[in-house]
Amino acid sequence: MRVLVTGGAGYIGSHTVLALVAAGHDVVVVDDFSNAKKAVVSRLEELAGRQIPVHAFDLTDAARTDELFATEQIDAVIHFAAFKAVGESVQKPAMYYRNNLDTTLSLVEAMQRHGVTRFVFSSSATVYGEHAPVPYQEDWDRLDSSNPYGQTKVMIERILTDVAAVDEAWRVALLRYFNPVGAHPSGRIGEDPTGTPNNLMPYLSQVAVGRREKLTIFGGDYPTADGTGERDYIHVEDLATGHVAALEHLDTMVTRTRAFNLGTGTGTSVLSLLRAFERAVGRELPYEIGPRRPGDLAVTYADPARAHAELGWRATRTIDDMCADTWRWQSQNPQGYPED
Ligand code: UFG
């Protein structure tokens, strides 16, 4: 298939581009580079061993989005491009709703005009909200989120479901990610957050490389084995093959829209992840226990059974693999990608 990957220069998008090429698909990338560096593209081409067509524009521009579909032959869309910082979304809700909804609507309308009906959406475990029991299962129907970023994921899942409901040709996979970490084993591509990292793994790896003084663990009094929060960390390489599996499953999907958890099914505490990262680095890392972060849940992890049964996919990489690959990327690229 010839697949349009929106946000293909971003963290998960770039790893998925390589997984698509490895599986024999052709890829077209669209990215506005607002949260990605141009250097990603040359590294992707080096790893893929081929040129990758890249369109640099913002998908909120509906006219350019339409033109893209008019000029490129596209069989399916994998939609990653979005704003994704939870805290920023609380401060700037209108900006988040505008961007994440407009980009998706531009895409959907262009797809409708050009007869493209295959869509894989980058959703999040955040849609399970505060009340779903763990492990999270896809048929939980009270989708909700405590922050505007998460609400955009809930809304877009709904929009895509409604769009598919009125056109029998449409097939949509809603992929609900748990906590993506890790990097390509080459050490050439990885996560490169702008500014101070919001998420645990990039923060930890920046402590290890000397860019941050110490890790602050947000809360040591949760009702968990060691008092720190537990999450379902999933290697970005597993996540990438999950996208390929979902894409290849669309044509045989019985329902027009289907949600899939992409996780491992296992929770790991902040302290356990810290210890695993120390093993990867080969030394102890400085940390302190601080107050809880508002909005955080104690424990979240996936029930990954549906993805295994229907997509034939499961995560195979361990926490130690995730830490080793993150550390290879961070130690070889201490400042992330070179500036454009
Ligand atoms: N944590 C720390 N210190 C830090 C950063 C995080 O102790 O500096 C802890 C958090 O409290 C949490 C765990 O590490 O227990 C993981 O936190 P992340 O910020 O890495 O990930 P979250 O689970 O909070 O967020 C992730 C995604 C969001 C998504 C959310 C809910 O990053 O996009 O899951 O599904 F919305």
124 domain-assigned: yes
Query: How many Å lie between the centroid of ligand 1 and the Cα of residue 293?
Result: 9
Atom of ligand 1 at shortest distance to CA of 218?
Answer: 7
Q: Is 301 exposed, middle or buried (0-12, 13-18, 19+ CB in 10 A)?
A: buried
Q: Closest Cα to atom 20, ligand 1: which residue?
A: 199
pLDDT of residue 292: 98
**What's the chain's average pLDDT?**
98
Q: Judge if the beta carbon of residue 272 lies within 6 A of ligand 1.
A: no
pLDDT of residue 18: 98
CATH number assigned to the domain comprising residue 146: 3.40.50.720
| Structure-token pair, residue 252 | 């045989």
Quote the crossing angle between the two packed helices 93-114 and 62-71, to the nearest 10°: 30
Q: Judge if the beta carbon of residue 200 lies within 6 A of ligand 1.
A: yes
CB atoms within 10 A of CB 66: 17
22 domain-assigned: yes
312 domain-assigned: no
313 domain-assigned: no
CB atoms within 10 A of CB 55: 19
CA dihedral sign of residues 231, 237, 241, 243: positive
Query: How many Å lie between the centroid of ligand 1 and the Cα of residue 100?
Result: 20
Distance separating alpha carbons of residues 119 and 247, to the nearest angstrom: 8
Query: How many Å lie between the centroid of ligand 1 and the Cα of residue 179?
Result: 8
149 an active-site residue?
yes
Q: Judge if the beta carbon of residue 216 lies within 6 A of ligand 1.
A: yes
Query: How many Å lie between the centroid of ligand 1 and the Cα of residue 107?
Result: 29
Q: Closest Cα to atom 30, ligand 1: which residue?
A: 126
pLDDT of residue 34: 97
271-314 pLDDT, tens digit each = 999 999 999 999 999 999 999 999 999 999 999 999 999 999 99
| Structure-token pair, residue 209 | 């490389």
Question: Torsion angle, CA of 84/6/66/156, rounded to 10 degrees?
Answer: -40
Contact present, 204 and 187 (Cβ < 8 Å) = no
> Over 90: is that where the pLDDT of 175 sits?
yes
> Over 90: is that where the pLDDT of 139 sits?
yes
pLDDT of residue 67: 98
pLDDT of residue 289: 98
Give the count of domains, the chain: 1
Q: Judge if the beta carbon of residue 218 lies within 6 A of ligand 1.
A: yes
326 domain-assigned: no
Contact present, 337 and 275 (Cβ < 8 Å) = no
309 domain-assigned: no
| Structure-token pair, residue 60 | 């909120």
Nearest Cα residue to 47 out of 185, 225, 233? 185
Q: Closest Cα to atom 21, ligand 1: which residue?
A: 199
> Over 90: is that where the pLDDT of 340 sits?
no
214-250 pLDDT, tens digit each = 999 999 999 999 999 999 999 999 999 999 999 999 9
189-211 pLDDT, tens digit each = 999 999 999 999 999 999 999 99
| Structure-token pair, residue 233 | 């960390």
CB atoms within 10 A of CB 218: 17
Q: Judge if the beta carbon of residue 261 lies within 6 A of ligand 1.
A: no
Whose tokens are 């990438």? That residue is 240
Q: pTM, whole model, 2 decimals?
A: 0.98
Q: Closest Cα to atom 35, ligand 1: which residue?
A: 126
9 domain-assigned: yes
Distance separating alpha carbons of residues 99 and 253, to the nearest angstrom: 30
Q: Which of 128, 136, 149, 233 is catalytic?
A: 149
Q: Which of 122, 145, 179, 274 to mutate to test the pocket of ligand 1 (most atoms within 8 A of CB)?
A: 179
Q: Closest Cα to atom 6, ligand 1: which residue?
A: 200
137: domain range? Answer: 2-180+233-263
Average pLDDT over residues 76-99: 97
Atom of ligand 1 at shortest distance to CA of 147?
Answer: 36
Nearest Cα residue to 96 out of 83, 79, 80? 83
88-100 pLDDT, tens digit each = 999 999 999 999 9
Whose tokens are 């407009």? That residue is 102
Q: Which of 131, 200, 319 to mutate to test the pocket of ligand 1 (most atoms within 8 A of CB)?
A: 200
Q: Is 40 exposed, middle or buried (0-12, 13-18, 19+ CB in 10 A)?
A: buried
282 domain-assigned: no
Contacts of 49 (CB under 8 A, 6+ apart): none
Atom of ligand 1 at shortest distance to CA of 217?
Answer: 7
Quote the crossing angle between the two packed helices 236-249 and 11-22, to the nearest 10°: 60
| Structure-token pair, residue 316 | 């195979």
